[in-house]
Chain A
Amino acid sequence: MATQEDLIHEIKVFIIEALNMEDVTPEDIGDDDSLFGEGLGLDSIDSLELGVGLQKRYGLKISAETEETRKIFASARALADYVAANRTR
């Protein structure tokens, strides 16, 4: 069984690959760094794309832009917590 740390790393790799982020390695993303705005600088379209990718990969259901989704995408750790609690595959 994967540890929480492994999952956070996996999520970071997933984000980097899904968004084709140049020059970025998982070590560059702090577990609690904000993914949007000044942190990684992702935008609303990215969260949509990430959401779709996460649903496919982990069998999640993420509803459209709500206050809750903003919390889910707050950081790599928040995302990993959500995936761990809600994954179906």
Chain B
Amino acid sequence: MDERRRVLPETGGPVAYRAGRAVSRMEFCADVAAARRALARLHPGNAGGRPGFALHEPDACRFAVWLLAGWSLGLTVALPGDDLPVTREALPMPWVGAGNAENALASWAGETGEDPVIDHGCPGVMSYTSGSTGTPSLIGKSLSQLRAEADMLERSFGGELTPETRFVASVPHQHMYGLPFFLFWPLAAGRPFVVEKLRYPEDAGRLPPADYALVSAPTFLRHLPDAPRSSGVRWRMATSAGSPLAPEAACAASEHLCAPLHEIYGSTETGAVARRTVGQPWQPMPGVRLALEEGSSRLLIHSPLLPESERMSGFLSGDLARLDERGLELLGRADRLVKIGEKRISPDQVERELARLPEVAEARVLPLPGAQGERLILAAVVILGPEGRRKLTAEKKIRFNARLRSRLADRLDPLAMPRRWRYVENFPANEMGKTTQGDLERLFAPEFPRAEEIPGAVEDGVALLLRMPADLVWFEGHFPDLPVLPGVVQIDWAAHYGRVYFGFDATASNVSRLKFQNLIRPGDSPRLELSRRRGGSELEFRYILDGKPCSRGIFAPRKPAAAP
């Protein structure tokens, strides 16, 4: 079967817009021809199934030029996520793109070229997956897979677009979401794309007047409604992928854009698997057939986008699912089950239960070591809705935590109940809009050491042995080479334990006779002595390490301001 065909369609307007200026088909093809010649001079080869060259180019149009040039030479293209020295070492092959001597596109003016003809059986690209956890892996995609995905997207969503609709992205073009959605689909369908990425939601309002399709991710879309609208920018549709978007956020973004918002469920291995619009269950993409693995409820995906070798068996995903006549319901990662007290608990289920509450907009739930280090607890990072924010301002955090817990009480096993809570404006996220486990864990870095009471050591007071974990948040970034416990933190801890043990209100006090004598370092176990003075109206603190004084001070009630 002859698979040689053109990537660009027979007809079509500009390929791209750079800084508002159209990049014509002719210019684009001339660049591809020049890039072909530049590549040929590098004598790359697909030796041993290895990619011919590595491409790192932030300019989406030049990226497409190199890609098509490489493919027309039958080369596989490696797509690293960055061009750090360590990545370059891992990919010992010619590198092209920004910052490389071979990149001479600017000097190619005057070249002419034919629309590149490409063997669609060509191995295509090798992409480094980001991988929310663990080490990134190398994943290959043949050109025919990419082509099939572009065709699938056009069949699914093409009807919502005009031929002139410009694609614009807030996600990188070299990843396995941006590549098909933002680059390959418009190229194959003859629609232009905008070279400049939308970095901030405000950028969307600064686009020149035209019809647009937005290729985006949850982090960007959540902020979008806060950005000003531009009257000349007409959105035809938007897509979101990478992580789930809460229904309220999806609704708000869709309303802001005055356009449908399609959420995409998929993975690097499978391409797009299912789609949904706000409030609807997931529907499989055209040609995709879904089933559940017997016994495990893991989703089994049959898709025309899978490599030939997996077409028959299907791809077994790591996601648990439920299927009925309405569509697909995703129930979380199979490998995210954690064991707490011999029970298998799904943090994803807890996330879903939390997200159902009227106070909560979105939630992430993660396992953390418990107080004794021998058990796991669940911790929740929550974005509150307006109602939740109002309540949290009105009452203490612990009361609010209890409120959420009591709402969950009849839907969750007590062991699955979140024990630690963080209320945030946004989840920490990388440029792909992915929130990693590590980012969330950092929100729970300990603020206080573990304190052990030494009975009877101080009269009318208390002596505490403070065991400080090395990951204590206060050791971070103070002096990177010399982590020490900052003095203000020592004062804060003294105030904290004064409150815990004696109900002493340090906020109404000044600190006097403050002295810092010796440093406290990670791993140290200093002793903190608190003693009450003057009938409990004052509180003295001393930090002592191995018998040596580290610091001391006295909390004394603030004197009323002197009359002027």
Name A's B-contacting residues (CB within 8 A).
Answer: 13, 16-20, 22-28, 36-39, 41, 43-45, 49
Interface string of B495-509 (1 = CB under 8 A from A): 000011101000000
Stretch of B98-106, B239-247, B413-421 contacting A (4+ beta carbons < 8 Å): B413-421
Cα distance A22–B421 when bound, in Å?
Answer: 9
Q: For chain B, what secondary structure do more than half of its interface residues adopt (helix, strand, loop), or is it mixed?
A: mixed
User: Which of A17, A28, A45 is B375 in contact with, Cβ under 8 Å?
Assistant: A45
Cα distance A20–B374 when bound, in Å?
Answer: 13
Residues of A with C-beta under 8 A to B341: 43-45
Residues of A with C-beta under 8 A to B375: 45, 49
User: Chain B residue with minimal CB distance to A33?
Assistant: B402
Residues of A with C-beta under 8 A to B397: 23
Query: Assuming the A-B contacts A37-B409, A44-B415, A49-B371, are A26 and B503 also in contact, with contact meaning beta carbons closer than 8 angstroms in the complex?
Result: yes
B417-A43 in contact (CB<8A)? yes
A43-B371 in contact (CB<8A)? no
User: Chain A residue with minimal CB distance to B455?
Assistant: A57
User: Which of A26, A28, A36 is B396 in contact with, Cβ under 8 Å?
Assistant: A28
Q: How many residues of B contact A (CB 8 A)?
A: 28
Cα distance A22–B496 when bound, in Å?
Answer: 12
Cα distance A33–B292 when bound, in Å?
Answer: 46
Cα distance A41–B378 when bound, in Å?
Answer: 12
A37-B414 in contact (CB<8A)? yes
Residues of A with C-beta under 8 A to B22: none
Cα distance A45–B421 when bound, in Å?
Answer: 19
B512 within 8 Å of A (CB atoms): no
CB distance from B416 to the nearest CB of A (A): 9
Residues of B with C-beta under 8 A to A24: 398
Cα distance A19–B409 when bound, in Å?
Answer: 20
B398-A23 in contact (CB<8A)? yes
Residues of A with C-beta under 8 A to B503: 26-27
A45-B420 in contact (CB<8A)? no
Cα distance A16–B402 when bound, in Å?
Answer: 15
CB distance from B74 to the nearest CB of A (A): 59
B93 within 8 Å of A (CB atoms): no
Cα distance A13–B341 when bound, in Å?
Answer: 25
Cα distance A25–B506 when bound, in Å?
Answer: 14
